[in-house]
Amino acid sequence: MVPHLVTALTGPINELEQRILDATPVIERWFRLEWMEHTPPLYCSVDIRNAGFKLAPVNTNLFPGGWHNLSPDTLPLAVQAGQAAIEKICPEARNLLIVPENGKPSSFYLASLVRLQEIFRMAGLNVRFGSIDPAVKRSQTIALPDGEKMTLEPAQRTRYRLGVKNFDPCTILLNNDLSAGPPGILEELHEQYLLPPLQAGWSVRRKSRHFRCYEEVSKRFGKLLGIDPWLINPMFASCGEIDIHEPSGGECLRTNVDALLTKIRRKYKEYGINEKPFVVVKADQGTRGLGMMTVRDVRDLDAPGQWVRGKAAASVVPRGEVIIQEGVLTNERIHDAVAEPVVYMIDRYVVGGFYRVHADRTTDENLNALGAHFVPLAFDGGAQIPKPGVRAGASAPNRFYMYGVVARLALVAASYELEATDPDLQDTD
C-alpha cells in the first residue's frame, strides 16, 4: 500500500538533520515565542525540496487545496489544530463559511473541500460553502465519485456581513486565491473574520515579498542553530517587469539570472557540490506551477521561442513582475519517479503532508503539473515525531520532523508577510 521510498541522501543534510534533532526543545520554544508576537495564517501548505545538500521551501500556499491527499490517519491532528484556531478567533462560533475557488470545480477539488468541511465540522462548527463566483446563482448539490455529496450555495452579501441563505457565519474561510483581484463582495466585512485576510490573495501577494521575509526568518533560525542559512534558504532576485518583446526577457532578467547562477556556483564550490546550478523564473504573482521556467545558463534565455513555450511544454510566459529563484534539486524518489514533500499546517501546527510525485519530470523541474500524483506517505501517523537516538538520515520520522520545521519557518515568514501588507497596520504607521 505504501510505496517504497528510494531516498539516497547523505552528506550535509544529515548534519542539518542532526542539528535540528538535537535542538528540538530550543526550536519548539523559538516557534512558541514567534507565535506570541505574530499570528500564523489559519492554514498553509508548503512545497519543500530536499537536494541532499540543502533543504528549502519553494512555494508557500495560503489557500491550500489537496486536503484529500492527506492520510485520513492525520485527521485528528487537523481537527485538534482547527479547534485551537477557532478558540482564538471566535470561541462562541457556531458557523463557518468556506469560500471556494471560482469556476467549475474538479472532482479532486471537491474532495479537498469536503475534507476541509469534515475537519471544521469535527472541530465544532456547522460548515457550508458559499461561492462568490457570479456564475453560481442557485444552490446546487454535487455528487462526488466516492458517493459523498456537497452543496455549493451562492454567497449572499448584506451591508456588513457575508453568508449563505439562513446561515450567518462568524468566520469566513477563504479557499479562493483571488487571482483576479479582491471581489467587492469580500470587502469591508468588518463584523466577521475573513481568513486568510484579503491581502493573502494574489492581487496583493508577491512571491518575492514572501521569500524576503523567509530570508529574514532563515537568518535568525540559522543563528539559533549555528548553521549557514543557505542550507535552508533558496536565494532569489526579482525584476519589476520583464520585457517580453526582447528574446531574452530584457536586461534586468538577464543580469539577475547571471548573477544568481554565479552566486549558486560559489556556494556549490564552497560545499563541494558537483551539480549544475540552475534558477527558476516564475511570475511574482499567481498560483500553481504556471509560468515557470528552469534556466541553467543565461544563454538559455536567448533561445528562439523561449518566451512562447518556455523550456517545458506546460510553461507559459510569466508576464509582468518575475522572481528568479535559486533552483533546488529534489533528490527524493518514489518508484523511480521524482518526488517532493508538501507539508500542511493549520494554525501553528503541522497536520499532515504528502509526496507530490511526477514520473515524467526531472530533479530540477517543477512537479506541480498535470500528471502529478500524491502519496500520503511521509506524515502517516507518528511520522513527524523524531526518534531521538536514531542517527540522522536513518529514519523517516527524523527526516519528516525536519520538513515540518522548515515548513513552519515558511509559515512564520507568511505571518510577517501578511503583517507587512495588512492595510490596518499600515494605517497606523
**How many other CB atoms are there within 10 angstroms of residue 175's CB atom?**
20
In angstroms, the CA 271 to CA 275 distance is 11
Let me know the angle formed at the C-alpha of 412 by 411 and 418, rounded to the nearest 5 degrees. 90
Q: Which of 2, 10, 28, 181 binds its own copies (CB under 8 A)?
A: 28
Angle between helices 24-37 and 207-225 (to 10 degrees): 140
25 lies in the binding site for its own copies (CB under 8 A): yes
- Nearer to its own copies among residue 86 and residue 174 (C-beta): 86
Stretch that binds its own copies, among 38-46, 88-96, 105-113, 220-228 (CB under 8 A): 88-96
Minimum distance from CB of 72 to its own copies (Å)? Answer: 5
Minimum distance from CB of 91 to its own copies (Å)? Answer: 5
State which of positions 118-177 bind its own copies (CB under 8 A).
118, 121-126, 148
- Nearer to its own copies among residue 53 and residue 349 (C-beta): 349
In angstroms, the CA 260 to CA 297 distance is 11
Question: Binding pattern to its own copies, positions 368-407, x when CB under 8 A?
Answer: ------------xxx-xxx-xx------------------
Under a CB-based contact definition with an 8 Å cutoff, are residues 291 and 318 in contact? yes
223 lies in the binding site for its own copies (CB under 8 A): no
Order of strands across the sheet that contains 171-174: 140-143, 149-154, 126-131, 95-99, 171-174, 193-195
- Nearer to its own copies among residue 184 and residue 389 (C-beta): 389
- Nearer to its own copies among residue 90 and residue 280 (C-beta): 90
**How many other CB atoms are there within 10 angstroms of residue 163's CB atom?**
19
Q: What is the DSSP string of 367-422?
A: --STT-EEETTTTSGGGGS--TTSPTTS-HHHHHHHHHHHHHHHHHHHHHHHHHT-
Stretch that binds its own copies, among 71-79, 129-137, 207-215, 280-288 (CB under 8 A): 71-79
Stretch that binds its own copies, among 28-36, 56-64, 135-143, 312-320 (CB under 8 A): 28-36
**How many other CB atoms are there within 10 angstroms of residue 391's CB atom?**
12
Three-class SS state of 327: coil
Distances 395 to 49, 187, 387 between C-alpha atoms, Å: 18, 48, 8
111 lies in the binding site for its own copies (CB under 8 A): no
Minimum distance from CB of 77 to its own copies (Å)? Answer: 6
Maximum Cα–Cα distance for the chain, whole Å?
A: 64
Minimum distance from CB of 28 to its own copies (Å)? Answer: 3
Under a CB-based contact definition with an 8 Å cutoff, are residues 354 and 341 in contact? yes
Stretch that binds its own copies, among 55-63, 82-90, 267-275, 282-290 (CB under 8 A): 82-90
Q: Which of 19, 22, 84, 290 binds its own copies (CB under 8 A)?
A: 84
Residues contributing to the site for its own copies (CB under 8 A): 24-25, 27-29, 31-33, 35-36, 71-77, 79-81, 83-84, 86-87, 91-94, 118, 121-126, 148, 348-349, 380-382, 384-386, 388-389
